[in-house]
């Protein structure tokens, strides 16, 4: 479990799924352990779709120095997780293996992302905080 504590003191608790996306989960856990995400904002907010964070610059153009394999069907990986409300997934460019640190939380079901983006967990507590942000 990963606990994202907001400036407001509210939390979003994420359960990670190592079986669905082992490389993604390991990368995310490493960044959390290093404190990479401390103080980083949700820089991209699209109500009814998602909230996105993980860019230390806060602009959507930055990330960590490490890029990981995209763990999703169109990239040759069987990932059974679906982009339903509360799903946590890696953001990336159009290059399949370009994910680094930016991630998003689905504010609503976004099944059109299935097979194209690496979902790796889900919100298990604090979805009302996602609603507040979005």
pLDDT value for 97: 97
Q: Which residues of the chain have pLDDT under 70?
A: none
Backbone angles phi, psi at 119, to 5 degrees: -70, 140
pLDDT value for 9: 93
- Whether 103 and 119 have beta carbons less than 8 Å apart is answered as no
- Closest by CA position to 70, among listed 45, 37, 93, 42: 93
pLDDT value for 60: 92
pLDDT value for 43: 96
In the CATH scheme, what is the homologous superfamily, with its name and number, of domain 2-127?
Cyclophilin-like (2.40.100.10)
- Whether 111 and 73 have beta carbons less than 8 Å apart is answered as no
How far apart CA 89 and CA 21 sit, in angstroms, is 10
Angle formed at CA 3 by CA 101 and CA 63, multiple of 5 degrees: 10
pLDDT value for 5: 93
Tell me: the pLDDT tens digits for 29-67?
A: 999 999 999 999 999 999 999 999 999 999 999 999 999
Q: Where are the domains of the chain?
A: 2-127
pLDDT value for 122: 99
Positive or negative, the Cα torsion across 82, 84, 89, 94? Answer: positive
pTM: 0.96
């Amino acid at each position: 479990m990963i606990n994202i504590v907001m400036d407001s003191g509210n939390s979003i608790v994420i359960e990670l799924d190592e079986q669905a996306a082992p490389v993604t989960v390991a990368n995310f856990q490493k960044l959390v352990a290093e404190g990479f995400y401390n103080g980083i904002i949700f820089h991209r907010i699209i109500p009814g779709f998602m909230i996105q964070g993980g860019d230390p610059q806060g602009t959507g153009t930055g990330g960590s120095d490490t890029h990981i394999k995209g763990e999703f069907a169109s990239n040759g990986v069987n990932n059974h997780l679906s982009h339903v409300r509360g799903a946590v997934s890696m953001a990336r460019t159009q290059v399949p293996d370009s994910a680094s640190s930016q991630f998003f939380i689905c504010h609503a079901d976004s099944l059109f992302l299935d097979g194209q983006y690496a979902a790796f967990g889900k919100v298990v507590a604090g979805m009302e905080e996602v609603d507040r942000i979005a």
